[in-house]
Structure 1
Amino acid sequence: MWRDIDPRAEERERPDTGLGRVGGYSDTNPGHGSEDPRDVFTRELELPRGTSRERVRVNGREYRLSGEDVRVLATVGAFRVVPAADLREPNPRTPTRPARDLERLRELGLVRTAPYVVGRSRTTLITLTGSGRNLLEGARRPGPAGERQAFHVGINKPRELAHDSRVYSAYTKAAERLAERGDTVRRVVLEEDLKRDYQRFLQAKNRACRERGESPDERERAIARWAQEHQLPYEDGHVQFPDARIEYDTRDGRRAVEDIEVVTPHYRGAHAAAKVRAGFSRYRASGARLGGLRTTGRSGRGVDPRLAEELLS
């Protein structure tokens, strides 16, 4: 993989500082101390970071990408589906620029776009294509596999799009709060990734149970230990999974996690009660917007009874 700056890029693509903080990050520690919550997803990538478009060749294919293009691709891949309106702040001087840039990425075959209604608001949902993920993976620096940011392709659960499309917005609110405390986000792990690891554990445990003749009680204790090791709530034989997990370093250098959950009007009954008890940081979806809710349980703060009543009514 190689990239070089096209000297004509500055003439055709004038830097637009109104689209967010771009450029100026070192290759050794990109994203550290950044005000843009998307920069963490480009940290492992040998791809452009500045305002000018550069030629990039990955796996035999050539593209022209700017740092903003890379942020969009990596963010969409990290969350699987993101509303276009959440990806870039509008700039009064160039109001059509974000839409044109997304259309260009679509024409390059790196993203797919689809109109959708979230709550009462019309939006465009963005997902990564296989070519988009190949680009990101081909530009990834070597590193421990267990600490890498995963990138996802396409829509996984069409029936849950209205819910899943809000997870990125919840992340930005949580990331802003962490940054204010001086914490540094390392990566985001989606619910599906946590569940995949859990299923691998279960399959291995089930084989061991058959071979060793372990009892159901022994299996349940093993599941409880797995949940504890992965800092996930375990209750009545079930492991609770958040919509997304933020892994971060605290200001004093400790590793920590924050689990976030998007609460929609469809949360009812036992499912809602379990989410309340789980201790996830919850964000209530109202239309296409999110409002923060009190964190409960594992954070040491109590359950908000008004929230429980509202969710369970």
Structure 2
Amino acid sequence: MEVEPAAGSEDPRDLLTRDLDLPRGPSRERVRANNREYRLSGDDVRVLATVGAFRVVPATDLREPNPRTPTRPARDLERLRELGLVRTTPYVIGRTRTTLVTLTSDGRGVLERGRRSEAMGARQEFYVGVRKPRELAHDSRVYGAYVRATERLAERGDRVRRVVLEEELKREYQRFLQAESRARRESGGGSEDREQAIARWAHEHELPYEDGHVQLPDARIEYEDRDGRRAVEDIEVVTPHYRGAHAAAKARSGFTRYRAYGARLGGLRTMGRSGRSIDPRLAEELLS
């Protein structure tokens, strides 16, 4: 049975725990995973799911500050670190010092152990550690963009189902390229057949295709509108490093762009499509 977030819930982290049979309330409960027992609260689970879904999240983005207990979020995060469920790293975004939080293998083990086997639809993926250290400043802002987007979707009465990171879309694209290359070798198809196949794949996945390239967003939010129809919103964090042709491609995109100013994030809606351009030949090389 699927459990929806509580009525009136405005916490975007709740959406990431929908298919998890883990604590949801304020009290700590026993959770068995990784051949040991933990005591976790609903807030603890939401932190683990959020960090896992986005790979890296600034500690300040994980919990709303409470004037009555100003140090509790930091203490709770430190406790998760001591339990070996998250890893924390000091970092500077722009000129702002912060702490970045990532999930450990044991942290993902807790989430996977709590995943409902009867959950319907595509599953929410959870990731361990940092994948691209040189892009930490950029990647750590994606969760903030997600929060902005989900707030707007909630105001319209839409229901978020899951979030898909660029790397998951890229992995699916690479699998397609590999299968398409095998089929083309067997049939003797030419480059035109390949381009048509890639364009068709992009169209089926609601992704932009331009000059032989499929562009992927930083993250895709899958949701149902108030009438129950499936829809997606693709989001991209634009940093000062986006210049020239790269910036122009973003401006032509239909993704929702969020411009980063130091550690702050501003919204910028566009009617084009954006995303990181991927050369199909390069994507295919990554498979070898």
Question: What is the alpha-carbon distance in structure 1 between the residues aligned to residue 167 and residue 17 of structure 2?
Answer: 21
| TM alignment of 1:210-221, pairs within 5 A | 210-221=185-196
Question: Match of 1:28?
Answer: 3
Q: Are residue 225 (structure 1) and residue 212 (structure 2) matched?
A: no
Unaligned stretches of 5+ residues in structure 2: 274-288
Q: CA deviation at 1:95?
A: 1.2
Whether the aligned pair in 2 keeps the contact of 1:27 and 1:46 (CA below 8 Å) is no
Determine which of 106, 109, 123 is the counterpart of 2:84.
109
Q: Are residue 153 (structure 1) and residue 128 (structure 2) matched?
A: yes
Determine which of 136, 141, 158 is the counterpart of 2:116.
141
Q: What whole-Å deviation, never above 9, does each CA across 1:2-59 have from its counterpart, x for those lacking one?
A: xxxxxxxxxxxxxxxxxxxxxxxx9632356521111011101010000000011124
Determine which of 41, 51, 59 is the counterpart of 2:26.
51
| TM alignment of 1:1-313, pairs within 5 A | 28-30=3-5, 34-143=9-118, 147-297=122-272
Equivalent position amino acid for 2:195 in 1: E
- With structure 1 as the length reference, what TM-score do the two structures score? 0.85
Identity %: 78
- Displacement over 4 Å in runs of 4+: 143-146
Q: CA deviation at 1:295?
A: 2.4
Greater C-alpha Rg: 1
Question: What is the alpha-carbon distance in structure 2 between the residues aligned to residue 293 and residue 31 of structure 1?
Answer: 30
Q: What whole-Å deviation, never above 9, does each CA across 1:162-218 have from its counterpart, x for those lacking one?
A: 000000000000000000000010000000000000000000111111111111100
Count of aligned pairs: 274
Whether the aligned pair in 1 keeps the contact of 2:59 and 2:99 (CA below 8 Å) is yes
Specify the SS of the correspondent of 1:126.
strand
Whether the aligned pair in 2 keeps the contact of 1:187 and 1:248 (CA below 8 Å) is yes
RMSD value, Cα: 1.6
Whether the aligned pair in 1 keeps the contact of 2:141 and 2:237 (CA below 8 Å) is yes
Whether the aligned pair in 1 keeps the contact of 2:19 and 2:119 (CA below 8 Å) is no
Whether the aligned pair in 2 keeps the contact of 1:50 and 1:67 (CA below 8 Å) is yes
Q: CA deviation at 1:134?
A: 1.0
Whether the aligned pair in 2 keeps the contact of 1:31 and 1:43 (CA below 8 Å) is no
Question: What is the alpha-carbon distance in structure 1 between the residues aligned to residue 208 and residue 231 of structure 2?
Answer: 15
Q: CA deviation at 1:146?
A: 6.0
Question: What is the alpha-carbon distance in structure 1 between the residues aligned to residue 96 and residue 118 of structure 2?
Answer: 41
Equivalent position amino acid for 2:122 in 1: E
Question: What is the alpha-carbon distance in structure 2 between the residues aligned to residue 27 and residue 49 of structure 1?
Answer: 14
Q: Closer, same or farther in 2 for the Cα pair 1:234/1:32, shift >3 Å? A: farther
More deviation, 135-144/105-114: 135-144
Q: What whole-Å deviation, never above 9, does each CA across 1:248-303 have from its counterpart, x for those lacking one?
A: 000111100000000100001111111111211000100101000022226xxxxx
